[in-house]
Structure formats: structure tokens, C-alpha cells
Amino acid sequence: MIRGVIQMARRKSKRSPRKRFTGINVTDAALGYAGVSIWSEALLGVNPIEFFTKQPAASSTGQLNVYEILDSLMGGKGGVSAATVAQYYPPGTKPNAFGVIQVNASRNGIDALVKSVGLGVAGSVGKKVTRKPRAYLNKTLRQFGLGDMVRF
């Protein structure tokens, strides 16, 4: 026979779920912009801001913008850069903006791939090296009440 009082195991107390950060991470945004910039330079010949703000070029430069891409999507020639694709680019290239992208990819693809891998490695190493200064910046932001919106 068992002597003494039998006690049930304690129930685990429920923790409140950890609050997830919903603001902007400046470090990740900068690395993301750098990656987009690498590929837009390689494929479109312009940086991401120029892609949306630049007017179509007066001559075939291999630089595309949003207007020329949309024109090609709607069945057009894709602007000046793409209209002269048959004159300057290899045979078999489509005479629209996607032909320009195809040619730019064949010319700049390997270089962009190497840059992207380098950016990934440099980004992860840079994040580890700058961990303490970023933690101090985040602490300072929390003191000013901006810790919910921005983080480094």
C-alpha cells in the first residue's frame, strides 16, 4: 500500500505569446534593395528607382523602364530600346522589351550571379560583425518610442 498523499503533476503555466515585430528592419531593407539593384542593372540596365522614374531613351541603349515593359506586355514593340533590337542584337532575339532582357541576361547574368552570392555572404558577415552596434541603436530607438516601427 502507498503511504502518504499522492499529488498530481503541476500544470504548465501558459505563457503569453511573444509579440512579433511588425515594423521596418532597415538592415534587411538595405540588403533587399542592393539585391534588386544588382538584378535590375543586369537585366534592365537601370537601377530600381530609374526603372520607375526614367523616361524612355531616345536611342537604343539597352536600358528599359516600366513604360517599355508594359508596352511589350500589351503587344507593342516595347519602346525605342526594343524597337531597334533587330539592328543591334543577335538574330533570333524577339523585337520587344523581353528580347532586350534576354540579351542583357546573356551578357550580364554571370556577373550578376557572382555579385548576388557576394552580397549574401557579405550581408550575413556584416550582420554578425555589426550585431552590438545595431543592438545599441535598437535600444536607443526604444527609448525614443520608435522601437515598434523601426529596427536595425
Question: Average pLDDT of 94-112?
Answer: 84
Compare 66 and 113 and report the one with higher pLDDT. Answer: 113
Residue 103 lies in a domain: yes
Is the pLDDT at 105 greater than 80? The verdict is yes
Residue 35 lies in a domain: yes
How many domains does one find in the chain?
1
Confidence (pTM): 0.74
Is the pLDDT at 41 greater than 60? The verdict is yes
Residue 10 lies in a domain: no
Residue 69 lies in a domain: yes
Report the distance separating Cα 150 and Cα 13, nearest Å.
Answer: 32
Residue 72 lies in a domain: yes
Residue 6 lies in a domain: no
Residue 11 lies in a domain: no
Give me the domain span that covers residue 70.
24-144
Residue 31 lies in a domain: yes
Contact present, 25 and 141 (Cβ < 8 Å)? no
Q: Pairing relation of β-strands 24-25 and 150-151? A: parallel
